Amino acid sequence: MLQGGGPAPSPPPDGATWECADLTVPVDWADPAGRTIELALIRIDRRGDGTTPRIGSLVFNFGGPGGSAVASLPAFEPRFTGLRAGFDLVGMDPRGVGASSGVVCLDDAGVDRELREVGFPRDTAGEEEWLRSREAYAAACAERAGGLLPHLTTVATARDLDLLRHVLGDSRLHYYGASYGTKLGAVYAALFPDRVGRMVLDSPVDPGRDLVERSLGQAEGFQRALEVFLAECAGREDCPTGGHPGEGARLVGDLLDGLADRPLPTADGRPLTQRLAVHGVIGSLYSESGRARLRAALERALAGDGTGLLEAADRYLGRNAEGRYRNLHAANTAVNCADFASRPGPAEVRRYRAEFLAASPVLGPYLVWDLTACHGWPVVSDRDQPEVHAPGARSILLVGTTGDPATPYAGAERMREALGDGVGVLLTLEGEGHGAYTAGNRCVVAAVDAHLLSGATPRDGTVCERTG
């Protein structure tokens, strides 16, 4: 049984209970008899409806990389009630994530200190400080989890998934993956095409982009999401950024720029730094509820109170009210740096800065520094993306949202192409946000449920309207 952290999941209203267990996997799949680690699992049994036969287990990955399915599945379960007619629902924390030997590089105070003291570079001295910070972070990760870091690849986790499938007693893997979870599912399909069951990839990651291309795509996506937010806000009488989206963009840009020298006070006592504010804005653009909170946070920030944006940053970074961080961002760095060969330095950042500024005039000057996330990292991949071509696999349902800021819609189209002819079937949601199925659009939910419960797949190119 797991030694859990935090409160136990609440039991569903039907009286079922959550089961927790560990799955033992080799650290190195090239040496299956060598050292092992334990992966945390959580499961809730199916609740039959009297008509739907038991299909098997449905395994979830909600993205990241670094998101904990053990923590997230109980929170999302009320949205998956219909799926329990045919499936046990199973969450697995991938290697290096959450309760599965979660990578922790800095203690909580150290994370707070870095976010407070290390700002986005504005000159050569700032660049040097930033890169020293990245090197120190990489060294801390290597010291705490060095033996595990080379094995935190998506390919290794896909092999873990196949062992989980076997242990669960299923001949095929039934799977729902969102965001990074789509990459994991696609890699699984490429490795084990004859073991793909009913699979849904929601908000697909672009499988063909290197680190620079991916980051530029996200900059464009977040700029578009910000513009949509500002346009919607401009139609409200209480909009804090005014009645014109262009003026709103200037206000937000000036606010972020000014925080470099003048952080805002907050009710928490921690100052709202520029770096925290950028995280707060970006994190708020993922969902409708986040955008609603962003309106209130900007109103307070423009009046000199950074509390709302600090709270938004904390949600995005996984910091709770007690000041404890989940390992989401440490695991995110570890997995991405194990998967990507690209290691852009300050010269590349300077070269690409104009492109990032063109892609996102408000957020691009900050997002360009994400290119240095793996600076000093002790593990380097031999390529920028693992293979996702999966000829012979059963049809995989892809769900792409036209206004997705984090995984832009073009990535869904490229994922369909990369999987191979007849494998990827694309369902398009016209709307905003990241993660179409869990957002509750009725058209998307009906199509996903039908695919998972009966194997029915919509016609490739089917479109769901935002009000569907």
55 within 8 A of 198, measured Cβ to Cβ: yes
C-alpha distance from residue 265 to each of 24, 119, 178 (Å): 47, 17, 36
Yes or no: say if 431 and 401 are a contact pair by the CB < 8 Å rule: yes
What angle do helix axes 124-145 and 328-339 make, rounded to 10 degrees? 90
C-alpha–C-alpha distance, residues 428 and 417, integer Å:
15
Domain coordinates in residue numbering, the chain = 19-101+155-208+388-464, 104-147+210-384
Residue of 68, 72, 101, 179 marked active site = 179
CATH of 19-101+155-208+388-464, one of 3.40.50.1820, 2.102.10.10, 3.30.360.10, 1.10.10.10: 3.40.50.1820
Beta bridge partners of 158: none
Please state, in angstroms and rounded to a whole number, the distance separating the CA atoms of residues 85 and 165: 19
- For the question of residue 375 being annotated catalytic, the response is no
Q: Is residue 404 flagged as an active site residue?
A: yes
- Out of 151, 404, 449, 451, the active site residue is 404
Give the three-class secondary structure for 306: coil
Chain center to CA of 39:
19
Q: Is 287 one of the annotated active-site residues of the chain? A: no
Tokens of 214: 């991916």
Report DSSP state, residue 222.
Answer: H
The distance from CA 447 to its chain's CA centroid, rounded to whole angstroms, is 23
Catalytic residue, chosen from 202, 434, 449, 451, is: 434
Which residue bears the tokens 């242990």?
167
Beta strand extents in 181-301 (DSSP E only): 196-202
pLDDT in tens, the chain (468 residues): 222 333 345 555 566 789 999 999 999 999 999 999 999 999 999 987 778 889 999 999 999 999 999 999 999 999 999 999 999 999 999 999 999 999 999 999 999 999 999 999 999 999 999 999 999 999 999 999 979 999 999 999 999 999 999 999 999 999 999 999 999 999 999 999 999 999 999 999 999 888 899 899 999 999 999 999 999 999 999 999 999 999 999 999 999 999 999 999 999 999 999 999 999 999 999 998 999 999 999 999 999 999 999 999 999 999 999 999 999 999 999 999 999 988 888 888 899 999 999 999 999 999 999 999 999 999 888 887 889 999 999 999 999 999 999 999 999 999 999 999 999 999 999 999 999 999 999 999 999 999 999 999 999 999 999 876
DSSP 261-330: T-PBP-TTSS-B-HHHHHHHHHHHTTSHHHHHHHHHHHHHHHTT--HHHHHHHHHHHTB-TTSPBPSHHH
